Structure 1
Amino acid sequence: MGEIKILGIVGSLRKNSYNRFALKAAHELLPEGAMLGLVELHGIPIYDQSTELTPPPAVVEFRRRIRSADAILFATPEYNYSVPGCLKNAIDWASRPYGESAWAGKPAAVMGVSIGSLGTARAQYHLRQILVALNMPTVNQPEVMIGNAERRFTEDGKLTDEPTRKQIQKLLLALTALVKSGRAD
């Protein structure tokens, strides 16, 4: 069995996003035999169905990265009790045109970071609903909802909270197990 390629999707456009920092921490915590690449959502225009058959280059590349991955790790902030518009927009682009979704059957895991105490619980719930519609098998446990981010990360983005690091590590183990369970030997 070859190396498991996980694509980490940064669900925030903010330069110093805690969710980007969480994905960088995940990179340090990968189980043996897994690799993690990150994709940013900068440059993906607002979804326009009239151009879905001739998508912009940023969308073509985004879809290519999804298709070449064995699994997806979403890191989402919470905006107004839900996922950020940039993340939903990117998800929509990669799900189109109808019948050609890059997401279909792709194993996924979800985590999120917030400065609030709930740690993106509501956004993750909405994202999980979207993943059902996309036919993506998703890790249910553990749930990684990182609240009070400023207490868990240094100013330069290092995750210092050991219980959080362990939860991310467990999530990655569960995601790689999900991938392995779907692979033919």
Structure 2
Amino acid sequence: MEYLSQADPILGQAITRLGKLERKVMPDMFSALVYAVIGQLISAKAAGTVWGRMQRELGEITSGNLSGYTAEQIQSCGITRRKAINIRQIARTIEQGELSLDELHSLPDEEVIARLTSLPGVGRWTAEMLLLHALQRPDVVSWGDIAIRRGMKKLYQLDQLDKAQFNRYCEKYAPVGSVASIYLWVISFE
């Protein structure tokens, strides 16, 4: 927080106003991955509702457990058919040892993104959310996250935000961009 306040006084004012924010962390890589897939293109509230329903109706969110359900059973928790198929396929891929989520802890960010985006239904944004919320990487600011971009626009009073501007702000935030992301999310919903 101190570093960001020094590096960017405008963000620093928002940090002072908002105070210390807590970030939600999901250290279990598989459940974090499933949660991120659920959360694609829906509100955080809707994702939380589906997540709770999955836990109640399907039980523990593990690759072994979810690979035993049909896509229809997974879909019945309130997600699209495509997401249900992808979650089931991801569970099977992990369960069959085709991708080790444990190995991701020791890899650089871009390699983690490359491995995760090889899974069905996992794009760059989803991989970046895992970097941030599961692997707790320090410098993740996702261009693909609409709320982060909206937060930047509000914070800096911009009508438009292009990728070059976004990248300049990210350079200011480095090497603690993940903290900036958390503040930008909150700012976007103010």
The bucket for the TM-score relative to the shorter chain is under 0.3
TM-score if structure 2 supplies the norm length? 0.25
TM-score if structure 1 supplies the norm length? 0.26
Q: Which structure's residues are more often helix, by fraction?
A: 2
